[in-house]
Amino acid sequence: MYRITVLGAGNTGYTTAARLSLNGHTVTLGEIPAFAESISGIRNDKKILLQSPTGLEEVLINRVTSDIALAIKNADVILLTLPAYAHKSFANECAQYLTPGQIVILMPGTLGSLEFVRTLKAAGTTGITVGEVDTSPYVCRKTGVNKASIFGTVTHLGLGVFPAKDTDNVATIINSIFPGISKYTDVLECGLSAINPVIHPAGVIMNAGRIEYSDGEFYFYNEGVTTSVSIAIQAVDKERIQIGKALGYKLKPVNQAIHEAGLGPEGNLYHSIRGSKILTKLKAPGTMNNRWLTEDIPYGIATWSLLGTSLGIETPIMKSFIEIGSIVSGVNGWEKARNLNDLGINDLNVENLRTFLKTGEI
């Protein structure tokens, strides 16, 4: 059992804090002061009502706090369950309190671990092992100020660690928290294996009319991921895989990733998504200004596309969804993109990049 700090009190934060407490870990659920409102509903009694397929449980969280120093102190593992656009500010908030030997895992990361590392470095903080996983550990929703609902558990969370030479050690620990962990070569391979940016922008844009007409009141995966939407998602995926190939990775196609994560049956994308017993419970977002565009474009396909460009890989389909998504969400995906400079890898050739990812040194 570990002392685990969960930072970020949204869908995944609430669910993870409750689930890991039930599993016997000593859990702190923390938020930075700016978002203290997110934990106001459980600050006093520290109880989360967790609805799961097996029933409703009241779960006591060991500590709930917006004091980051307190949240981080003595934690074995710090799990960041945050939107990607919050990674950098949390890195800045945490930098002075993190102590050598602590492990920080971004859930999911989508290359955010590289930005996190770069931010710690700028703050002079060293000796921290930073990792990221390829998707959220649970399919879940925060359903009230003290409630969360869990529809399914990802059975084979993929883990990337920086520096990659520490992967085995970190994976052993994370696997005892989230059983069934699979290991990526490094955080870059993991970040390129995120599922959300592959599915969300294409899916949302190609259901824009229905999302707005119905205020999101339909089952996104079951009703919205139709044949042509699957075709477009697979076209995004193909570009992603090409970028990976240029870096020497053999990335899993998204349908295989969905299946191996325990989210759906084996088969092509359409079959895997429509056959899912977990994803089918998720409704669509209600507007275009939502994280499936405002996060998964600038911190997902835009970052990938920029990486592709630096490698000479064309990404016309990603670019198309970035262009359209930018105008309909009101968030310019190119301007807000987590770019190669943010990742600290803009000046590296492929060889130096792989050395950096493995050793932490250039």
Q: How far is the CB of 300 from its own copies (least distance, A)?
A: 17
Binding span for its own copies by CB under 8 A among 6-14, 28-36, 114-122, 319-327: 319-327
Task: Kindly state the number of chain residues that form the binding site for its own copies, as judged by CB under 8 A.
Answer: 30
Applying CB under 8 A, among 10, 108, 152, 203 the residue interacting with its own copies is 203
CA dist 96 and 261 (Å) reads 35
Position 84 contacts its own copies (CB under 8 A): no
Helix ranges (DSSP H) in 135-195: 167-177, 187-191
Site string for its own copies, 156-195 (x = CB under 8 A): ----------------------------------------
Q: Is the CB of 35 or the CB of 321 nearer to its own copies? A: 321
Applying CB under 8 A, among 177, 190, 206, 345 the residue interacting with its own copies is 206
* CA neighbor of 102 nearest in space, from 123, 82, 72, 132: 72
* CA 7 from centroid of its chain's CA atoms: 13
Binding span for its own copies by CB under 8 A among 63-71, 188-196, 226-234, 254-262: 226-234
Position 198 contacts its own copies (CB under 8 A): no
The region that residue 180 occupies, defined by phi over 0 for left and psi between -120 and 50 for alpha, beta otherwise, is left
Q: How far is the CB of 321 from its own copies (least distance, A)?
A: 7
DSSP state string for 235-296: HHHHHHHHHHHHTT--PPPHHHHHHHTTSS-SSSHHHHHHT-SSGGGPBPPSSSSSHHHHTT
CA dist 55 and 133 (Å) reads 27
Position 223 contacts its own copies (CB under 8 A): yes
* CA 50 from centroid of its chain's CA atoms: 21
Position 228 contacts its own copies (CB under 8 A): yes
The region that residue 267 occupies, defined by phi over 0 for left and psi between -120 and 50 for alpha, beta otherwise, is left
Bridge partners of 79, per DSSP, are 6, 105
Location of structure tokens 């089918």: 280
Q: Which of residues 230-259 bind its own copies (CB under 8 A)?
A: 231-232, 235
Q: How far is the CB of 230 from its own copies (least distance, A)?
A: 10
Q: How far is the CB of 299 from its own copies (least distance, A)?
A: 20
Q: Is the CB of 235 or the CB of 246 nearer to its own copies? A: 235
Q: How far is the CB of 196 from its own copies (least distance, A)?
A: 17
Position 227 contacts its own copies (CB under 8 A): yes
Position 263 contacts its own copies (CB under 8 A): no
CA dist 207 and 224 (Å) reads 6
Position 290 contacts its own copies (CB under 8 A): no
Position 316 contacts its own copies (CB under 8 A): yes
Q: How far is the CB of 210 from its own copies (least distance, A)?
A: 4
Position 225 contacts its own copies (CB under 8 A): yes
CA dist 191 and 71 (Å) reads 26
Asked if residues 196 and 296 have their Cβ atoms less than 8 Å apart, the reply is: yes
Helix, strand or coil for residue 344? coil
Position 46 contacts its own copies (CB under 8 A): no
Position 274 contacts its own copies (CB under 8 A): no
Say what angle helices 302-311 and 227-246 make with each other, to 10 degrees.
40
Position 291 contacts its own copies (CB under 8 A): no
Which residues contribute to the site for its own copies (CB under 8 A)? 203, 205-213, 223-229, 231-232, 235, 288, 316-317, 319-321, 323-324, 327-328
